[in-house]
Amino acid sequence: MTTSATPFDRTEIPFELPFPRIRLKETGCAAGSCFADRVFGALLQAGAIRGMSNPNGIAYNPFSIQESLRRLEAEYTESDFFEYGGLWHSWIHHGSFSMPTRAEALEKAEAARKEFRKTLKKAVFFFMTLSSAYVYIHKQTDRIVANCHKVPSGEFRRELLSHDTCRAAIVSACKCIREYAPGCRIFLTVSPVLHDPGDLRKNFLSKGRLLSAAADALESIPNACCFPAYEIVAGELRDYRYYGDDLIHPSEKAAEIVLSRFLRTCCEPEVSAWYEESLRRAKAAGHQERKR
């Protein structure tokens, strides 16, 4: 006798961690898309782990991620910044690093670079989230940019990185990590955020390329794995109920499911217990605040 599936029935994506689990208060680093902050950042905010994410701010494509890590060794200079729209920007930084003066932008970029490098030397794990294989190339300089900073679209061309280019960028990023933290355990993952909502075919092509490149890259990266964040949302949940109102970003419920799986498969029970206790404390504090 067969039964109809409930909304909570799903085929679980298999995943087995190939190295020791994350322990309570261990130091880690993260780089990549905003979804990295929803997993790594949640544990960081709860105090379950220590660390820092994104030395150059959010980055979406593997080339920009590896460039931000490669630049950890070299100081930024005034020539790395340009002025547009009343702010000073860098082609390899997120807009959160843009500042009213070049000196301020340089100071902020340098402070983040030094702090991330210092933290990475202590890191025992690294969480890298890839979001898109599409890149924007600044025509005048012929360089891939991490952010367009609202510069007119006509100054850029858009390209899909090849499998080999994605793979090479991932391997290069991991080599940069290992220069500072030789024994670091690396978690690769593809973000479930729909990075090209205007054309879902391009989104799936992009995600597929990242998944393939990451899997291929693992063959030459020791002590690394691919955690299936994208596969969980797209394959297990596969429903727009698990996306936010913008139908682009996974909902809080979806993020909770991914984080729960990460805690169960990649972290020691003490990490999960600490995180759950922090949620209870935050909920209790919010309840007390509302009673005042």
Residue 59 lies inside a defined structural domain of this protein:
yes
Residue 117 lies inside a defined structural domain of this protein:
yes
Using pLDDT thresholds of 50, 70 and 90, give the confidence band for residue 65: very high
Task: Give strand pairing partners of 217.
Answer: none
Q: Which domain holds residue 213?
A: 27-72+113-133+164-279
Please tell me the total count of domains within the chain.
Answer: 1
Residue 201 lies inside a defined structural domain of this protein:
yes
Indicate if the pLDDT at residue 247 is higher than 70: yes
Cβ 276 vs Cβ 255: under 8 Å: no
Instruction: Confirm whether pTM is higher than 0.75.
Output: yes
Indicate if the pLDDT at residue 130 is higher than 70: yes
Phi, psi of 267 (to 5 degrees): -125, 150
What is the average pLDDT value for the chain, to the nearest integer? Answer: 92
The pLDDT tens digits for 271-287 are 999 999 999 998 877 65
Which class for 74: exposed (0-12), middle (13-18), buried (19 or more C-beta within 10 A)? Answer: exposed
Computed from CA positions of residues 218, 224, 230, 236, in that sequence, does the dihedral angle turn out positive or negative? positive
Residue 227 lies inside a defined structural domain of this protein:
yes
pLDDT at 10: 65
Q: What CATH number does residue 126 fall under? A: 3.40.50.1110
pLDDT at 240: 76
Q: What is the mean pLDDT of residues 81-91?
A: 98
Question: Which H/E stretch holds residue 276?
Answer: helix 269-291
Residue 238 lies inside a defined structural domain of this protein:
yes
Give the C-alpha separation, 129 to 54, whole Å. 10
Question: Which H/E stretch holds residue 211?
Answer: helix 200-217
Using pLDDT thresholds of 50, 70 and 90, give the confidence band for residue 155: very high
Give the C-alpha separation, 177 to 39, whole Å. 20
Strand 134-138 relative to strand 156-160: parallel, antiparallel, unpaired? antiparallel
pLDDT at 136: 97
pLDDT at 117: 98
pLDDT at 90: 98
